[in-house]
Structure 1
Amino acid sequence: MLSLRVRLLMWLMLPLSLYIGASGWLAYRSARDTAALVQDRALLTSAQVIAGELTWVDGALRASVPPSALELFASPARDRVFYQVVTQDGQLLAGPPDFPRPPLFPTTAPAYSSVTVNGEPLRAVSYVRTMYNAGTPYRVAVMVAETMHAHDEMLAKLWEPSLHRQIAMAALAALLVLIGLTVELHPLIRLKDEVAGRAPQELVPIRAGHLQTELRPIVDAINLCIQRLSAQAQQQRRFVADAAHQLRTPLTLLDTQLQFAAQLDDRAALADVLAAMQTSSRGLADLTNKLLLLSQAEAADTPAFSRSRVDLVAVAAGVLEELVALAQRRHIDLGLETVEAHVWVEGNGELFHAMVMNLVDNAIRYIHEGGRVTVAIGSPDNMARLRVIDDGPGIQAEARQRVFERFYRNAPPGQPGTGLGLAIVKEIVAASHGTVTLASGDDGRGLVVTVTLPLALETERNAS
Structure 2
Amino acid sequence: MKSRFSVRRQLLKWLLLPLLILIAVDSTILYRISLHFLRKAFDHALYETAYDVSQILIQDRLNNAQLELKPEVRDMLLSSQQDVMYYSVYDQQGHFMGGDHALPYLKPLSGQHKTLYYGAGQVSGHDVRVVSMPVVIATEEGNAPVRIQVAETRNQRQHLASQILLGILIPQLLLLLVAVLLMWFGIGRGLRPLWDLHAALAQRTPRDLSPVQLTQVPEEVSMLVESINQLMQQVQRLLESQNRFIADAAHQLRTPLAGVMAQTELAQYETNPDALQKSLGNIAISTERLVHMVNQLLILARAEPEVMQAIQMHVLDLRALAQHVTGDLISLALPRNIDLGFESELAHAWVLGDATSLEEMLSNLVDNAIRYSDEGGRVTVSLLRDGESFVLSVEDDGPGIPEDEREKVFERFHRVIGTKQPGSGLGLAIVLEIAQVHGATIQMQDATPEGGLRISLRFADHGADAPVITG
TM-score under structure 1 normalisation? 0.89
Aligned to 2:48: 45
Aligned to 1:452: 458
Which of 406, 417, 422 lines up with 2:412 in the alignment? 406
Aligned to 1:3: 6
Aligned to 2:66: 61
Which of 161, 166, 170 lines up with 2:172 in the alignment? 166
**Alignment partner of 1:188 is 2:194:** yes
**Alignment partner of 1:80 is 2:110:** no
CA distance in 2, matches of 1:142, 1:325: 122
What per-residue deviation string (whole Å, max 9, x for no partner) do you get for residues 122-141 of structure 1? 22333443212355234554
Identity of aligned residues (%): 33
Compared CA separation, residues 141 and 442, structure 1 to 2 (3 A): same
Runs of 5+ in structure 2 lacking a partner? none
Amino acid at match of 2:395: I
| 1:209, distance to aligned residue in structure 2 (A) | 4.2
| 1:291, distance to aligned residue in structure 2 (A) | 0.8
Compared CA separation, residues 74 and 187, structure 1 to 2 (3 A): farther
SS of the counterpart of 2:82?
A: coil
Please tell me whether the aligned partners of residues 78 and 86 of structure 2 are also in contact (alpha carbons under 8 angstroms): no
Please tell me whether the aligned partners of residues 344 and 461 of structure 1 are also in contact (alpha carbons under 8 angstroms): no
**Alignment partner of 1:132 is 2:138:** yes
CA distance in 2, matches of 1:210, 1:401: 46
| 1:72, distance to aligned residue in structure 2 (A) | 5.9
CA distance in 1, matches of 2:267, 2:104: 131
For 1:329-340, what aligned pairs fall within 5 Å after superposition?
A: 329-340=335-346
| 1:92, distance to aligned residue in structure 2 (A) | 5.7
What per-residue deviation string (whole Å, max 9, x for no partner) do you get for residues 392-422 of structure 1? 1111111111111111111546532111111
What per-residue deviation string (whole Å, max 9, x for no partner) do you get for residues 232-255 of structure 1? 111111111111222222222223
CA distance in 1, matches of 2:78, 2:88: 16
Compared CA separation, residues 16 and 70, structure 1 to 2 (3 A): farther
Aligned to 1:304: 310
Please tell me whether the aligned partners of residues 299 and 305 of structure 1 are also in contact (alpha carbons under 8 angstroms): no
Deviates more, 1:52-61 or 1:189-198: 52-61
Please tell me whether the aligned partners of residues 12 and 184 of structure 2 are also in contact (alpha carbons under 8 angstroms): yes
Please tell me whether the aligned partners of residues 106 and 119 of structure 2 are also in contact (alpha carbons under 8 angstroms): no
CA distance in 2, matches of 1:235, 1:311: 31
Amino acid at match of 2:404: E
Amino acid at match of 1:80: V
| 1:290, distance to aligned residue in structure 2 (A) | 0.8
Which of 424, 432, 442 lines up with 1:436 in the alignment? 442
CA distance in 2, matches of 1:58, 1:390: 138
CA distance in 2, matches of 1:343, 1:53: 110
Amino acid at match of 2:9: V
SS of the counterpart of 2:448?
A: coil
| 1:438, distance to aligned residue in structure 2 (A) | 1.8
Aligned to 1:122: 128
Aligned to 2:213: 207
Please tell me whether the aligned partners of residues 332 and 369 of structure 1 are also in contact (alpha carbons under 8 angstroms): yes
SS of the counterpart of 2:221?
A: helix
Deviates more, 1:427-436 or 1:251-260: 251-260
**Alignment partner of 1:397 is 2:398:** no
What per-residue deviation string (whole Å, max 9, x for no partner) do you get for residues 46-76 of structure 1? 222122222247755353347566556766x
CA distance in 2, matches of 1:163, 1:139: 48
CA distance in 2, matches of 1:302, 1:344: 20
Aligned to 1:28: 31
Please tell me whether the aligned partners of residues 243 and 291 of structure 1 are also in contact (alpha carbons under 8 angstroms): yes
What per-residue deviation string (whole Å, max 9, x for no partner) do you get for residues 67-119 of structure 1? 566556766x5322233456679566445x4x243476873234433234565
Aligned to 2:286: 280
Amino acid at match of 1:228: Q
TM-score under structure 2 normalisation? 0.88
Please tell me whether the aligned partners of residues 47 and 131 of structure 2 are also in contact (alpha carbons under 8 angstroms): yes
Amino acid at match of 2:26: S
SS of the counterpart of 1:129?
A: strand
| 1:382, distance to aligned residue in structure 2 (A) | 1.4
Please tell me whether the aligned partners of residues 300 and 431 of structure 1 are also in contact (alpha carbons under 8 angstroms): no
CA distance in 2, matches of 1:300, 1:227: 12
For 1:216-227, what aligned pairs fall within 5 Å after superposition?
A: 216-227=222-233
Runs of 5+ in structure 1 lacking a partner? none
Please tell me whether the aligned partners of residues 330 and 369 of structure 1 are also in contact (alpha carbons under 8 angstroms): yes
Amino acid at match of 1:289: N
For this pair of structures, how many residues does the alignment match? 461
RMSD between superposed Cα atoms in Å: 2.9
What per-residue deviation string (whole Å, max 9, x for no partner) do you get for residues 299-332 of structure 1? 4774421322332222332233233243233232
Compared CA separation, residues 16 and 68, structure 1 to 2 (3 A): farther
CA distance in 2, matches of 1:140, 1:325: 125
Please tell me whether the aligned partners of residues 238 and 306 of structure 2 are also in contact (alpha carbons under 8 angstroms): no
Please tell me whether the aligned partners of residues 301 and 431 of structure 1 are also in contact (alpha carbons under 8 angstroms): no
| 1:424, distance to aligned residue in structure 2 (A) | 0.7
| 1:10, distance to aligned residue in structure 2 (A) | 2.8
Aligned to 2:265: 259
For 1:297-376, what aligned pairs fall within 5 Å after superposition?
A: 297-299=303-305, 302-376=308-382
